[in-house]
A and B are shown apart, each in its own frame.
Chain A
């Protein structure tokens, strides 16, 4: 068990948290810029809190009252930062071996390289890796130090990583193979639900909720409102085309998702923040014809989560789109992970936020 009670002054607010992580895999969940990364850095020993105590089991890592500060090299934590931060002057093999030490028959270079499928990359320079490959190499490098705790900073959020390269399946494999407790910083509901045993919701430097993913994410408040109550998909897009005579404004996200929204007098190229409620979206297995709805969006099912008869289906259509269905609909349509589907969205189900 990991006990943390720390205060860290930050520029706009103070991080002030007290928590026990029971794990084995804990998610620190919350919007960006609320101190989640800072929290990981204090656990890793890269940043020193102004006050408080950090214990890994019975070992005190930091204590302001006892003047204890165990430096990062003696904490045995495997830190995987958001940008991977591979050593640019070393190739992949020398990167992952940098901190390798000790003899653990389970965690060997071969085993880690196999599990993360990086065998073909070992001789490569780090500059010639894709975003997903960089993350896997960073994870391998951390694992080979035989850490007592893994710290993963937004491993699932890096923008330059394509869907097929996502690290989530590898994280699950690592969890099964090596059984190392982990703290994962994330703001993606599905990742948290599928990978973590407990969730700690952080906002503005404070802990807002702690519990099982189901408890925390279904509570009202910043993390909840997911299975109950309205859930809104929000898209940060730009106006691509105006046709006032048809009453339509075409908007497009950076990822290429295209939507026809009700006409609004906004110049082409301007930012458009639009929202669609998860329950306002229809889902079809084959492309329907002769529809009145202006938006027929093809996509692939990325995840299905069900609670109390309600299912949230995450469809990858360039951007992730969450669709709320009944349990019965999921069963009858025989929906499953990886299946191609079509989303039907009425123009007037899309509303302008800004």
Chain B
């Protein structure tokens, strides 16, 4: 196995970014609902949305495999209708990233929306603007920093994703192998110096992302 560092970094960052972007609309919608609803079902939904954060990633991977394997309901449907395979392809890596990034995104986004005074939204509606317009012109701009911080947090989590990915996508160099999977394989092969090199690169990427997120949430508007 030869290590193409540039390819690995690009692949890992692209996968993590794609995973977060896929979850973004859902995360924003659910975060807003959680921030504003007074329904009882809120706690249940919140718990379900947090689950991927605390479950062992292998369990998450197992669930994904149950859904997207070629002989499983969604996997079979996608393969037979569109000829698209999910399990053990880069698509599975993206899905695994999305699932593990989702809880962090939702929680941060919810907090960002909760910080927006709902009376501002009410006033905006008395000024003749319907709810969707108010959401995009008042709520979203006022919580933009928090949402961006959530995106970065989710992205960082997706970067380091290992357990779910290896379950549902395997560890195929050049196809589904991300930085963290490559490090695992190198250590198994006894090629520790190369593993350390990748580890340093991973730390640098994660550090940059988290640092940016901290700066965003700390600086006042």
Where the two chains meet, the residues of A that have a C-beta atom closer than 8 Å to any C-beta of B are: 44-46, 71-79, 81, 85, 87-89, 98-99, 101, 141-142, 145
Contacts and interface: CB of A to CB of B under 8 A. Distances in A.
B4 interface: no
Contacts, number: 57
Contact of B126 (A44, A88, A101): A44
A89 B130 CA distance: 19
Given A46-B122, A79-B123, A85-B117, 20 more contacts: A45-B126, A46-B125, A46-B126, A71-B125, A72-B125, A73-B125, A73-B126, A73-B127, A73-B128, A73-B129, A81-B119, A81-B123, A85-B120, A87-B124, A88-B221, A98-B127, A98-B137, A141-B127, A142-B126, A145-B126
A142 B128 CA distance: 10
Contacts of A99: 124, 126-129
A184 B11 CA distance: 63
Contact of A79 (B126, B130, B131, B141): B126
B186 interface: no
A330 to B, nearest CB: 42
Nearest to A43: B126
Interface string B138-154: 10011000000000000
A88 B137 CA distance: 12
Interface residues of B, number: 18
The majority secondary structure among interface residues of chain B is helix
Among B123, B127, B142, find the residue whose CB has the most chain A CB atoms closer than 10 A: B127
Given A99-B128, A145-B127, A88 B119 contact: no
Contact of A78 (B126, B129, B131, B137): B126
Interface of B: 117, 119-120, 122-131, 137-138, 141-142, 221
A89 B221 contact: yes
B130 A73 contact: yes
Interface pairs A-B: 6 shortest CB-CB: A99-B127, A72-B125, A79-B126, A46-B122, A72-B126, A99-B128
Contacts of B137: 98
A145 B123 CA distance: 12
B141 A89 contact: yes
Given A73-B129, A73-B130, A81-B119, A98 B142 contact: no
A88 B124 CA distance: 12
A215 to B, nearest CB: 32
Contacts of A142: 126-127
Nearest to B125: A72
A89 B141 CA distance: 7
Contacts of A141: 127
Given A87-B138, A101-B128, A72 B120 contact: no
Contacts of A75: 126
A193 B129 CA distance: 35
A76 B128 contact: yes
B20 to A, nearest CB: 24
30 contacts: A44-B126, A45-B126, A46-B122, A46-B126, A71-B125, A71-B130, A72-B122, A72-B125, A72-B126, A73-B126, A73-B127, A73-B128, A73-B131, A75-B126, A77-B126, A78-B126, A81-B119, A85-B120, A87-B124, A88-B221, A89-B141, A89-B142, A89-B221, A98-B124, A98-B127, A98-B137, A142-B126, A145-B126, A145-B127, A145-B128
A76 B129 CA distance: 10
